[in-house]
Structure formats: C-alpha cells, structure tokens
Structure 1
Amino acid sequence: MFREFYEEYEGATGNTYRQTPIAEAAGRGQPVVCTSPITYQGHAAVQSDIDNFKAALAGKNPVEAFIPAVAPGTIELQRKNEYYSTDEEYLFAIADAMREEYKAIVDSGFLLQIDDPRVVTQYGMPDPAPAIEEYRKFAELRVEAINHALEGIPEDRVRYHLCWGSWHGPHVTDVPLKDIVDIILRVRAGAYCVEAANPRHGHEWQVWENVKLPDGKILIPGVVAHTTNLVEHPELVAQRIATYARMLGRENVIAGTDCGFSQGAFTPRVHSSIMWAKLQALTEGAALATERLW
C-alpha cells in the first residue's frame, strides 16, 4: 500500500519504513540476535542519563520530571531470538533485565516513562493485518511482560506511553484505540500517554465517552502532533485539553505531545526550531485551558 510514496520518501530521507528493524539490520550485514542468556548491561549508561538530566534541571524546580525507557515488548520485536525455547520465555527474560533500568530511574527520584510503540504499530506490519482478537492476545502478553518488569515499582511513579509510530506516512492501517484501550489500562502505571492530536487519531477522544479511566489514574493526551510541521494554535490546544477535562475530570488530565519529535538521535522528524514552537504552543494552550477550567 502506498508503494510509490514510500519509494520516493525513502529515497529522499534515507529511512526505511516497510521493513522491520531486524530486516533492516540484516540488510546492512548487522543482524541483531540473542544467542545467550539476557542480563542487564546498561548500568553506566542509565546513570549517565540520570546525572545529565539532574544537571540540566539544576535550579529549575520542576513539579515533575521523567526519564523514558523502552518496554520489553518493543525490545523483543526489534531483535531475533536464537537462544530461548519460546518467544514468551525470551520476552520475560528481557523484562527481568529491564527491571534494573526501571528501578534505577525511579530510585533516582524521577518518574519512569515506559515507551511502547510496538504494542500498537506491530498490528499494521503484516499484510493483511491480523484479526483484532488475535492481535489482542499479542498485546495482552506484552502488557503482562511490562507488569512483570514493574514488580516492586509504585504505580504512581510510572507513565506508560504508546504511539502508532513517528514516521510521516499515511497510517491507514493503525489499530483503533477502541480495540485495545482496555488492555492498555491494565499496565500498572499511574498515567497513560496516547496520541490524540494527529489526523489519524484526533477523533479518538470519543473512546473515553464509553471507557472509564480507573480511579486515581491520569490520561496524558497528545495535544500537539509530531507528524506535521504546522504549529498548533494555542486556542486549538486549549480546546483539546478542555474536551478531555470535561469528560475525565480536570484533575485527571495532563496535556502532552503525541510522541517524541525525533525517533532517535539521528532520525529527527521535525526541525528543532519547530519542536520548540510546538512546545511553546502547548504551554500557552495549557495556560488558557487552566484559566478556563479553574
């Protein structure tokens, strides 16, 4: 689907969207393969991130600050298993290892944000897409692995982020939020971050008319999109915030971005000047909404 678009887009950007990360790595002669027991090796790296973030926040006195870490299921799907007897065993071995990183972040005083794009993006990769019930089983196991990794970590120190991918493509095969929202809410987190601003998912505020946000939990809807260079007007941002606040309660909503503006350090989707303009619009819109809701 949209073959002509992707051929031109990949040629212009150098990025490949139609292959899995494993296939991409294999094409470069660098397959990422698990061949021995999984143990956590990132202690120095995560401590460096923690130290750098603390230095950046010095003198700023933020209300809250979070550090993201990837979900076990997203790691699993980006690497090939040649050691564990089953994919489930492999997945839970990753969860055991990642618990160390999660605990390090929380123990340092920061909130932990679990980034888990693959729990929904995987739906649109097979052609044809799987049946919804089949896919729900896939997602349920990945959520079980997250909760396994989060054992011992207080829910109110965790945010859970999912998105339908940051590539600037059609996204016509995205799994609808309504089909997996109940599974997402099983993640033992205090807040849930979802895409809600881009053209493919902007209508899904309606899902929350029929789904109850669990007591004590917070929804972080995206009110500025990462999929366009157009900078949202603060009034639109305020409208979006107010829509969710009226449904869920003003104290249960935090305004957010749909996703990160850069998939990685070397794959920016939006120019940094536009990123900052969008964050400014988010700030101004949130101020307007706060004034009106309180």
Structure 2
Amino acid sequence: MAARILCTHTGSLPRPPALTRLHARRARGEDIPAGEAAAAARAAVAEIVPRQVAAGIDIVNNGEQGRESFVLYLRDRLTGLGGESHRPGWADIDAYPEFKAEVVAAAAGKETASMTANLPAATGDVAYVGDAAMAAECAEFRAALDAARPAPLGAFLAAPSPGIVASVVQNRHYDSEEAYLAALADALAHEYRAILDAGFTLQLDCPDLALERHASYRDRPLADFVAFCERVVTAINRAIAGLPRERIRLHVCWGNYEGPHDADVPLADILPTILQAQVGAFVLPFANPRHAHEHRCFRTTPLKDDQVLVAGVIDTLTNFVEHPEVVAERLERIARSIGDPARLMAGTDCGFDTAAGRGRVARDVVWAKLRAMSEGARIASGRLLGAG
C-alpha cells in the first residue's frame, strides 16, 4: 500500500507575460526570433520546476512553457499541414446567447494564443519531423529537474492524442478518418517514445474523448460519438503498442473553459470505451460542479487492478482557493468509489493555461491552489492510509 496520496497536475501552468506575448504572436503567424522564444521558455522552465516542488507537487512537469498550446505546438513538428481548419462552436455556449456575448467581449483584445483561429489542416502525408525539438524540450526539462532542490519524486511530459489533433487539424487529404487517425498515431508515436526514453512519464491529452460530443458531434447521435471514441482509442493503442503502460497516463476532459457544460456527455456513456486504452493511469476532472459526482461510475465500471486514478480535486477555472478539508473530502469520496486509496493520486481538473494567455486563474492564485491540494492530500492520507 502507498505511504500517502501523491500530488500531480494536468500539464500547463501560467507562462510569464513576455513569453505569452511571444506565443501569441507566433500563433497569429508572425515571425519571431527563434532564439528569443527559446531563451524565454528555458528560463520559465527553470523557474517553474522548483516552484512545483515547493508547492508540494510530487510528480512535476515543465508547465508546457515552450508550447503555444497543448496541441498546436505540433504545427512545427508535423509535415503535411496547410490550408485552414474551422472548429465548430461548443453547443452549451451557443445555447446561451447572453453568456456567449460576454465570453466574446471578455476575450476581445486579450493577448492569447488562439485555439480557434489560424488553424491548419492536413493537406498532405502527415509525418513527424520534431525529433530535434522534442529532444531539446526533454533536455531542457531534465536540466531543470537536476537543478531542483529538493528533487521531485517524479516527472511527466504531455503530448496530444491522435483524436484531438484530428479534431483541431482537420483532414483534407486522407480517404477516411481511420486512415488519418492511423497516420497521426504513427507520427505521434515518435513523440510518445521520446518522452518515455528520456525517463519521464507520458501523459496523453485526450479532451476529444469527451469534448467532441458537444463540438463536432453536437448534432449527431450518441452512438456516432461513441464510435468516434472507439476509433480514437484504437489509434492510441496503435501508437503506444509495446511501450510500458505503467508509465503512461491518459487525460480526458470536457473542455477547459468556464461555461454551462450542460451539453457534456455523461462519463458513464464514455467510460467503458476510455478504459480500453492500454495505459496505467487515467486523469479525470472531479472538482468542477458538472462532473464532481461522476467518480461513482467506477463502482460499476472499475479500473483494472494495476491501474491508478489521478483525480481532479482542484478547479482550474476559478480563483477560489479550495480549502484543504474540501480537497481531503473529495479524495475520500473518490477513494471509496475506486475501492483502494493506494491507487489514487490528487490532481487538477485540467491545465491552468492550456493555450498561452487563456488561463482564468491568476498566477499567484495557481500556486495557492496547488499548495491547498498538497495539504488536502496530506489530510486524506492520514485518514485513509494512516500516513503522518
């Protein structure tokens, strides 16, 4: 049995303002000095690793500081991209015109890397050409880890799933979705293996496995969406075949934005498909008020005996700092649902800045929330595991 409940998070952390501006310019298609962006990212990573340790995070990452977003950084690492993609709106936001107007007004003039504008499409054969960039990212992260005192217990890097890439970078080339997903799986497999070969845990970011229900599948039957999820999980398993599943975790969410979320697909409808992924851990959000109850799904659709649940117990969209007792209670409830607190980790619902500048939580509040998570995990560890 684990000595205590460990803490991690889901990936992106707020970037310094100057670095955010560079990412926003690059996302708009502007030319920026490559050396300037690289130096700013390197300094940000060196700072953010020890800050995670100081906040009580056991399994840390590089905060995705060098990436403009959790997925669109791949525009520089894949061939075959060109043209333009058009993302549909979210069904829940479109259903509330007054709210949508407020969202548009709040975003106006904000310096961010957009996730909906200037999106490329797949116009040719997709292949991975990011080996040097991935090696540099891993080396930069390793240097920050080696310098951190005290050292963290572990480290992870994230990479997007074939499904979210296919949803954002739409197919204009392949004869079928299956063929496109297979090509993406083969391309992304290079990045997945590089992360593992560098000694890190791999996190697969798969918001598509929930989000696309109220986006690209918003006007189609549930069965069509579940079939899409099955095709994506098949592609994921193709990409990670032969890799150590115990060092791979998979993150699913319904979109990292503040909104009604009343068009979200229930976890019960997709969990059996998600659990077909050959990974060692699942990272799911249980702090936000739309999905906080869905840990109960694991009572009837359980994890495999060797799998871990990283439970989101911190909301990444509000500036409320959760009380440690609230975090502890959330962990205790979730532990009862999975049946074994030794296979539970504490995490965040999603990233705090999934596209540069898009985060809703102030930088200083982010660190307070992470400290609260660590303290809450300590309290829950005492109650569930007898840890001091």
Normalised by the size of structure 1, how large is the TM-score? 0.92
Look up the match of 1:250: 341
Please give the secondary structure, in 1, of the residue aligned with 2:157.
Answer: strand
User: Does 1:208 find its partner at 2:303?
Assistant: no
How far residue 126 of structure 1 moved from its aligned partner, in angstroms, is 5.0
**Separation of aligned partners in 1, 2:355 and 2:217:** 27
User: Does 1:5 find its partner at 2:95?
Assistant: no
Q: Which sections of structure 2, spanning at least 5 residues, go unmatched?
A: 1-94
Output one character per residue of 1:2-45: Cα deviation in whole Å (capped at 9) or x when no partner. 111111211222399xxx95xx43xxxx4512222111021122
Look up the match of 2:186: 96
Greater shift, 122-131 or 42-51, is seen at 122-131
**Separation of aligned partners in 1, 2:109 and 2:322:** 26
**Separation of aligned partners in 1, 2:108 and 2:137:** 28
How far residue 260 of structure 1 moved from its aligned partner, in angstroms, is 0.4
Q: Which sections of structure 1, spanning at least 5 residues, go unmatched?
A: none
Look up the match of 1:259: 350
Greater shift, 122-131 or 147-156, is seen at 122-131
The answer to whether the 8 A contact 2:156-2:201 is kept is yes
Taking the TM superposition and a 5 Å limit, the aligned residue runs for 1:141-160 are 141-160=231-250
Look up the match of 1:278: 369
**Separation of aligned partners in 2, 1:250 and 1:93:** 39
The answer to whether the 8 A contact 2:209-2:274 is kept is no
**Separation of aligned partners in 2, 1:88 and 1:263:** 27
How far residue 218 of structure 1 moved from its aligned partner, in angstroms, is 0.4
Look up the match of 2:221: 131
**What is the one-letter code of the residue matched to 1:122?**
E
Output one character per residue of 1:163-218: Cα deviation in whole Å (capped at 9) or x when no partner. 11111111111110011111111111100000101000011122122222111000
**Separation of aligned partners in 2, 1:255 and 1:12:** 31
How far residue 153 of structure 1 moved from its aligned partner, in angstroms, is 0.8
**Separation of aligned partners in 1, 2:290 and 2:183:** 35
CA shift in 2, pair 1:253/1:84, >3 Å? same
Taking the TM superposition and a 5 Å limit, the aligned residue runs for 1:1-294 are 1-14=95-108, 24-25=116-117, 30-58=118-146, 59=148, 60-125=150-215, 129-248=219-338, 249-294=340-385
**What is the one-letter code of the residue matched to 1:54?**
R
**What is the one-letter code of the residue matched to 1:261?**
F
**Separation of aligned partners in 2, 1:272 and 1:128:** 34
How far residue 128 of structure 1 moved from its aligned partner, in angstroms, is 5.0
**What is the one-letter code of the residue matched to 1:281?**
A
- Matched-pair identity in %: 40
**What is the one-letter code of the residue matched to 1:198?**
N
Please give the secondary structure, in 2, of the residue aligned with 1:285.
Answer: helix
**Separation of aligned partners in 2, 1:52 and 1:279:** 23
**What is the one-letter code of the residue matched to 1:44?**
A
The answer to whether the 8 A contact 2:312-2:348 is kept is yes
CA shift in 2, pair 1:95/1:61, >3 Å? same
**Separation of aligned partners in 2, 1:290 and 1:164:** 29
The answer to whether the 8 A contact 1:65-1:111 is kept is yes
Output one character per residue of 1:135-157: Cα deviation in whole Å (capped at 9) or x when no partner. 11111101111111111211001
CA shift in 2, pair 1:122/1:15, >3 Å? farther
**What is the one-letter code of the residue matched to 1:273?**
D
**What is the one-letter code of the residue matched to 1:262?**
D
**Separation of aligned partners in 1, 2:154 and 2:342:** 15
The answer to whether the 8 A contact 1:263-1:269 is kept is no
Q: CA RMSD in A?
A: 1.8
Please give the secondary structure, in 2, of the residue aligned with 1:80.
Answer: coil
How far residue 267 of structure 1 moved from its aligned partner, in angstroms, is 1.8
The answer to whether the 8 A contact 1:242-1:293 is kept is yes
CA shift in 2, pair 1:223/1:40, >3 Å? same
CA shift in 2, pair 1:79/1:62, >3 Å? same
Look up the match of 2:82: none
The answer to whether the 8 A contact 2:296-2:337 is kept is no
Output one character per residue of 1:37-95: Cα deviation in whole Å (capped at 9) or x when no partner. 11102112212221221122124332221100010110011112222111211111011
